[in-house]
Amino acid sequence: MMVAFDTASETFHEMTPPPVSKNNRVNILAMGGLLVAADFGTDKRIIDLWFFEDYGVDGRWERRHRLDTGPIYYGQLRLPPAGDDSWLTIPNRAVAGTDEGDIILRVANAIVVHNVKTKTLRVMELANETATVLISPFVFRESLVQHQLATKFALDQLAWGAAAAEKDGTPQAAIIHLPDDTIADILLRLPTSSILRSGAVCKPWRRVTTSPHFLSAHHARRRTGSVSVILHTTVDGAPWPGRGNNLPPRRITVPRGGSTGTGSPRRGKKVTRQWAQLPLLHGDYRSHDQEYAFFFHQSSGEFRLLCRNMARRIWFVVSTSAAQPRQLVENIDAAEFIPWLPMMVSAPVVPLHGNLHWSP
Amino acid sequence: MAAPESGDGNNGAARMVTLISSDNTRFEVEAAAASLSQTLQLTILDGGGGGGDGIPLPNVDSATLSKVLEYCIKHAPAAANGGAPNATAVDRAELERFDNEFVNIDQSVLYSLIMAAHNLEIEGLQSLVAKKVADMIKGKSPMEIRRTLGFPDPTPEEQAEMNAHMLEYGWAYE
């Protein structure tokens, strides 16, 4: 089953999933106006890229690329050969597509960038990284550089603090030199308007208060009271990042050229940010609600949050211009949905052609 | 000495552990108090820190550590009671008074406490110090925040950004 949500009519509909085995790990993403499914097969080394042709008319999936990542080394370990079951425990994900034809995949503990135009493959090892790598596609889209909040107590931050202190003359043990995660911990305790003002205090605070991780944590904290979100939009009006609960990645730089290491961050779409207050959730909506997607409603020009109340098993929409959450008419068999719900929360939503898509 | 139950299964006299600050000062403290630190808790449960060994804390100096332990000792009995369900209103008021007084300190000490609380993962202390700084920020303009926290004067570029921000997000400044 593959589910899509029409943002104009606010109804769910089923889509034809790519014709692959149910056991395969499949991930969808948008690239150059096309919906793409990355099929990691069963051995996770051969990856098929399926493209959805003729969207909305007579849509069908076609396999256009097959790539073999070959054995990938990471740290001191060599991955087990194809067919070995321990492969299956390694989560793989298609992270994002770019307008230049790059598809960014996470395979084992490496980032693999496949270009569909040149059919070339670049493997970027994450040095000395043996723990699971957490990757947010939104961070990639924005800058393809490390998420600051991912570094917990990094020594280089402390070193940076000392260097900055020398430069600007403030004592080293001053609040201004606290690492980002402690700043986030402090700012999370503030009401929304104070957080917003804090964003103007200095660059590091701006970085902290506008990071998806912070916003998501802020939102989670405020859920029982008023809900505020930062609306990130690209210049063409598409919401960014789309949803909040994606975890930040570790240190990753994907350069434009072929080599690993330094390189100027990829220029993403211009992103603007604005704040808006969503209405207060109260009564039955107060708990058990979970946001599934954040979308732009074209005809009203509103940003809306698609949520589900777990206890009452209803879908509802919260929007910036309505005082109350609005319940949606259930147009798809609720029982069929249930097994998919947990996955729909954890996987990124792919917005394309007025629909939101979830991986099959 | 009526020591509180440490909650780690020991009975009788309270078990003591030794903590060693970055400048090599040794602090002997009840295991129950040191266990408020998530970082230390596992080591202590494993039997570490007893006798002459001591647990070295290379990131915490003695001035900060003594302050941290002052907090832990005060809060340990309530924590051992599982969040003090049977604490009287007087006890709670006393802890609150202590907390307020405790964070009434210099910003450089506050900074050290924030770092130590995060390093040692002492949840209550983390909230207390973060809340203190948050209270210093709340309701202030970006410029007032900078002054309160002793940031250097903004560069012309930073000043321009602040002004632009205020224009863009007027409602947040009301």
- Asked if residues A110 and A72 have their Cβ atoms less than 8 Å apart, the reply is yes
Long-range contacts of B135-139 (CB under 8 A, 24+ apart): B137/A186, B137/A187, B137/A190, B137/A194, B137/A198, B138/A190, B138/A191, B138/A194, B139/A194
pLDDT given at position B87: 62
Helices (H) and strands (E) in chain A, counts: 8, 20
Q: Which residues of chain B have a CB within 8 Å of the CB of A174? A: 107-108, 111, 149-151
pLDDT given at position B13: 66
- Asked if residues A154 and A276 have their Cβ atoms less than 8 Å apart, the reply is no
Q: Report the distance separating Cα B118 and Cα A181, nearest Å.
A: 9
Decide if B83 is inside a domain. Answer: yes
Please judge whether A182 and B140 are an interchain contact, meaning their C-beta atoms are less than 8 angstroms apart. no
Decide if B41 is inside a domain. Answer: no
Shared domain for A172 and A137, answered yes or no, is: no
Chain B nearest-CA distance from A201, in A, is: 5
Taken as a whole, chain B contains a residue count of 174
- Asked if residues A113 and A124 have their Cβ atoms less than 8 Å apart, the reply is yes
Number of domains in chain A: 2
Q: Report the distance separating Cα A275 and Cα B73, nearest Å.
A: 43
Shared domain for A161 and A141, answered yes or no, is: no
DSSP assignment of chain B, as one string? --PPP-SSS--SSPPEEEEE-TT--EEEEEHHHHTTSHHHHHHHHTTTT-TTT-EE-TT--HHHHHHHHHHHHHHHHHHHTTS-TT--HHHHHHHHHHHHHHT-S-HHHHHHHHHHHHHHT-HHHHHHHHHHHHHHHTT--HHHHHHHTTPPPPPHHHHHHHHHHHHHTGGGG-
Please judge whether B165 and A199 are an interchain contact, meaning their C-beta atoms are less than 8 angstroms apart. yes
Chain A nearest-CA distance from B122, in A, is: 13
Domain boundary among the residues A210, A228, A255 is at: A210
Shared domain for A174 and A30, answered yes or no, is: no
Chain B contact for A176, CB < 8 A? yes
Q: Report the distance separating Cα A209 and Cα A346, nearest Å.
A: 23
Q: Kind of pairing, strands A350-352 and A355-357?
A: antiparallel
- Top pLDDT among B61 and B11 is at B61
Q: Report the distance separating Cα B61 and Cα B83, nearest Å.
A: 29
pLDDT given at position B72: 94
Domain boundary among the residues A210, A225, A244 is at: A210
CA distances from A256 to A106, A113, A249, A317 (A): 17, 10, 19, 39
- Asked if residues B10 and B94 have their Cβ atoms less than 8 Å apart, the reply is no
Shared domain for A351 and A281, answered yes or no, is: yes
Place of tokens 């701006």: A206
Q: Report the distance separating Cα A285 and Cα A74, nearest Å.
A: 46
pLDDT given at position A27: 84
pLDDT tens digits, A174-192? 777 787 778 888 888 888 7
Average pLDDT over chain A, rounded to an integer: 63
Q: Which residues contact A48 (CB under 8 A, 6 or more apart)?
A: A20, A38, A39, A41, A63, A65, A66
Shared domain for A190 and A229, answered yes or no, is: no
Shared domain for A221 and A194, answered yes or no, is: no
Whether A322 has a pLDDT exceeding 90, the answer reads no
Domain that holds residue A248: 2-147+211-357
Decide if B67 is inside a domain. Answer: yes
Please judge whether A176 and B151 are an interchain contact, meaning their C-beta atoms are less than 8 angstroms apart. yes
Q: Which residues of chain B have a CB within 8 Å of the CB of A181? A: 118
DSSP A39: E
- Asked if residues A271 and A240 have their Cβ atoms less than 8 Å apart, the reply is yes
Whether A235 has a pLDDT exceeding 60, the answer reads no
Chain B contact for A159, CB < 8 A? no
- Asked if residues B137 and A198 have their Cβ atoms less than 8 Å apart, the reply is yes
Shared domain for A45 and A111, answered yes or no, is: yes
Look up the CATH number of the domain holding residue B131: 3.30.710.10
User: Which of the given ranges, A242-251, A284-293, A300-309, B112-121, has the highest pLDDT on average?
Assistant: B112-121
pLDDT given at position B98: 93
Decide if B76 is inside a domain. Answer: yes
Q: For A246-296, give the secondary structure using H, E and C.
A: CCCCCCCCCCCCCCCCCCCCCCCCCEEEEEEEEEECCHHHCCCEEEEEEEE
Phi and psi at A87, nearest 5°, equal -60, -40
Decide if B96 is inside a domain. Answer: yes
Domain boundary among the residues A183, A210, A237 is at: A210
pLDDT given at position B113: 92
Q: Which residues of chain A have a CB within 8 Å of the CB of B172? A: 192-193, 196-197, 275
Please judge whether B115 and A176 are an interchain contact, meaning their C-beta atoms are less than 8 angstroms apart. no
- Asked if residues B32 and B11 have their Cβ atoms less than 8 Å apart, the reply is no
Decide if B56 is inside a domain. Answer: no
Helix (H) / strand (E) containing A185: helix A180-187
Decide if B133 is inside a domain. Answer: yes
Residues of chain B contacting A, Cβ within 8 Å:
107-108, 110-112, 114-115, 118-119, 126, 130-131, 133-134, 137-142, 145-146, 149-152, 154, 158, 161-162, 165-166, 168-169, 171-174
Q: Angle at Cα A357 formed by Cα A325 and Cα A323, nearest 5°? A: 10
Whether B170 has a pLDDT exceeding 50, the answer reads yes
Residue type, B83: G
- Best of B38, B61, B122, B138 to disrupt the A interface by mutation (most A CBs within 10 Å)? B138
Number of domains in chain B: 1
Taken as a whole, chain A contains a residue count of 360
pLDDT tens digits, A284-293? 655 556 667 7
Q: What percent of chain A has pLDDT over 70?
A: 50
Chain A nearest-CA distance from B10, in A, is: 34
Q: Report the distance separating Cα B120 and Cα B27, nearest Å.
A: 15
Whether B102 has a pLDDT exceeding 70, the answer reads yes
Three-state secondary-structure class, residue A27: strand
Whether B174 has a pLDDT exceeding 70, the answer reads no
Supply the Cα-derived Rg of chain B in whole angstroms. 20
Shared domain for A196 and A313, answered yes or no, is: no
Mean pLDDT of A260-284: 42
Q: Which residues of chain B have a CB within 8 Å of the CB of A153? A: 118-119
**ipTM > 0.85 (yes/no):** no
Shared domain for A38 and A171, answered yes or no, is: no
Closest CB to A185: pick one of B126, B145, B149: B126
Shared domain for A319 and A299, answered yes or no, is: yes
Chain A nearest-CA distance from B107, in A, is: 7
- Asked if residues A14 and A337 have their Cβ atoms less than 8 Å apart, the reply is no
Chain B contact for A272, CB < 8 A? no
Whether A137 has a pLDDT exceeding 60, the answer reads no
Closest CB to A186: pick one of B112, B130, B151: B130
Q: Report the distance separating Cα A225 and Cα A219, nearest Å.
A: 10
Domain that holds residue B110: 61-138
- Asked if residues A304 and A317 have their Cβ atoms less than 8 Å apart, the reply is yes
Decide if B101 is inside a domain. Answer: yes
Shared domain for A70 and A201, answered yes or no, is: no
Nearest to B64 by CA among B94, B32, B37: B37
pLDDT tens digits, A54-93? 887 778 999 998 887 766 544 333 444 454 444 333 446 7
pTM of the predicted protein model? 0.46
Chain B contact for A233, CB < 8 A? no
Number of A–B residue contacts, CB under 8 Å: 95
- DSSP lists the bridge partners of residue A46 as A68
Place of tokens 């598409």: A238
Shared domain for A153 and A228, answered yes or no, is: no
